[in-house]
Structure 1
Amino acid sequence: MQKITFYKYQGTGNDFVMIDNRALFFPKENQEAIALLCDRRFGIGADGLILLENDAITDFRMVYYNSDGSESTMCGNGGRCIVAFAKQLEIIKTQCTFMAVDGLHHATIKEDEVALQMIDVNEVRVNEHQIFVHTGSPHHIVEVNNLESYKVFEEGKKIRYAALYTPGGTNVNFVEAIDTNHYKVRTYERGVEDETFSCGTGATAVAIAMHHLGKATKEEIGIVVPGGSLTISFSCVAPGIYENVILKGPAKKVFSGEISINS
């Protein structure tokens, strides 16, 4: 057995087990241990696990795992939470750079609010049945009515495993307009295989999709998720081309402790 010190963080209800792995002690190949740590009945409970590691060029490196133990693509809320974690560890003060699976990220933090620069978006795919945007993770976007009562799990699961997205699958976002530049979003996340309270890359994808379709008129868009509110800003430099994409919202420590796993 291996005893591990962990920290629990959440960003608009998207929650993560955070581990300081600068000493590279964590058994990354042990998917069962990662899944157990994220299990809400037998472990700590989280949508994912994040390791903070040293990086030769930036302030730190982010390594993200889904709650099923698989290594994942970029997680926007997780990126905001690791910035808050790095500040707690006194690695950074008010701004930083870090490396993630999708490349270099810049971020700033003021109290509990983190503004994270996402990757540029170079394509928005639109047809009669789908809108698709890759914001570090793949996102299918569907506009619906009566979002609060919509069957997100059932309908999201169908699209997540659709032949269109094989072999890796996709995240699925269901969207309803509040007004021109504000939207409600619920997301089915792959890897979690369920609806989450928030998805940062999903909220970013929705904001860009609504702007691309001409439904949103500003380059700063508010997104309301079950776990709170996020703001996404960007510069649209050409149709389907978005730069300086910033995801902003709260990131907070919930608790910390120790747990033993099979190493």
Structure 2
Amino acid sequence: MSLDFIVMQLKFYKYQGTGNDFVMIDNRSLSFPKENTELVANLCDRRFGIGADGLILLEDDDAADFRMVYYNADGHEGSLCGNGGRCTVAFAKFLGIIDKDTRFNAADGGHRATIDDDGTVSLQMQDLTEIREKSNYAFLNTGSPHHVQLVKGIEDFDVYNEGRKIRYGLYGKRGSNVNFVEPLDDDCFAVRTYERGVEDETLSCGTGVTAVALAMHSQGRIKANQVKLRVQGGQLKVKFNKKDGVYRDIYLIGPAEQVFKGEIEC
């Protein structure tokens, strides 16, 4: 008797960083069917799967401690995810691959990171050379493309509909993440983000708050080289230096933690 399908018992871990949550899989054996976009989307489904904003594979890398492979919730491989990167560092520490310092590779190249005993991860981002300033928004790529726009009354702002309109209307099929920003105190901003690939608002976006911090500094709205970003899922910090017109030593800093682990048939 032949079987039409093979059932796989998949071990997974669930991590979150300021509410941005991920299915984490140790794929050093390369046994996960990476080409199966439907499987990835099903695992990320909040009603019929595990539920997450994305799925991350941790794999071996000849040139670094590990490689992070990130998939959006729609099942397609994505660009860099900042909070996902921080969670992957915490996962690597849990697996015993690293201690407190690491270097790993992701979709946009190499990254350095540190993790403290309390689970705070500082992730170094790539240098930034260009910010496109428009009359009412900025556009920049911090490992993923980001639209940054100031608004008033952010708590009641229609992030889903306005974000979706900009994501598709202004940037076409490829799209962009869309960040809405409101100043709170000196060097502190509230941020809400519509994420492409998730196609909804997420509680936090790491590359998004990084984009916001750099855009606000570029526009002269802050003078400090350290910014607090309040997101729906908590608070993150971004620090950086600017030299010769280039933003360098950019770090995304915040908590990352394991929520639960389990097995699922798929």
Normalised TM-score (structure 2): 0.96
SS across alignment from 1:69: coil
What is the deviation of 1:130? Answer: 2.2
Write out per-residue CA displacement over residues 164-188 of structure 1, whole angstroms, 9 at most, x where no aligned residue.
4234100000000012300000000
Return the letter of the residue paired with 2:150: E
Whether 1:118 aligns to 2:128 is: no
Correspondences of 1:1-263 after superposition (within 5 Å):
1-111=7-117, 112-162=119-169, 164-239=170-245, 241-261=246-266
SS across alignment from 1:165: coil
Query: What's the % identity of the aligned pairs?
Result: 58
C-alpha distance in structure 1 between counterparts of 2:134 and 2:260, whole Å: 44
SS across alignment from 2:112: strand
Structure 1 residue ranges (4+ consecutive) displaced by more than 6 angstroms after TM superposition: none
Write out per-residue CA displacement over residues 52-86 of structure 1, whole angstroms, 9 at most, x where no aligned residue.
00000100000000000010000000000000000
What is the deviation of 1:260? Answer: 1.1
C-alpha distance in structure 1 between counterparts of 2:180 and 2:160, whole Å: 11
Q: Is residue 136–residue 150 contact of structure 2 (8 Å, CA) maintained in 1?
A: no
Root-mean-square deviation (CA, aligned residues, Å) is 0.7
Q: Is residue 121–residue 243 contact of structure 1 (8 Å, CA) maintained in 2?
A: yes
C-alpha distance in structure 2 between counterparts of 1:259 and 1:210, whole Å: 43
Q: Is residue 226–residue 240 contact of structure 2 (8 Å, CA) maintained in 1?
A: yes
Aligned residues: 259
Return the letter of the residue paired with 2:54: G
C-alpha distance in structure 2 between counterparts of 1:123 and 1:166, whole Å: 21
SS across alignment from 1:161: helix
Q: Is residue 180–residue 215 contact of structure 1 (8 Å, CA) maintained in 2?
A: no
C-alpha distance in structure 2 between counterparts of 1:29 and 1:79, whole Å: 21
What is the deviation of 1:228? Answer: 0.4
SS across alignment from 2:78: coil
Return the letter of the residue paired with 2:41: A
What is the deviation of 1:128? Answer: 1.0
Return the letter of the residue paired with 1:228: G
What is the deviation of 1:127? Answer: 1.2
Return the letter of the residue paired with 2:121: V
Q: Gaps (5+ residues) in structure 1?
A: none
Return the letter of the residue paired with 1:234: F
Q: Gaps (5+ residues) in structure 2?
A: 1-6
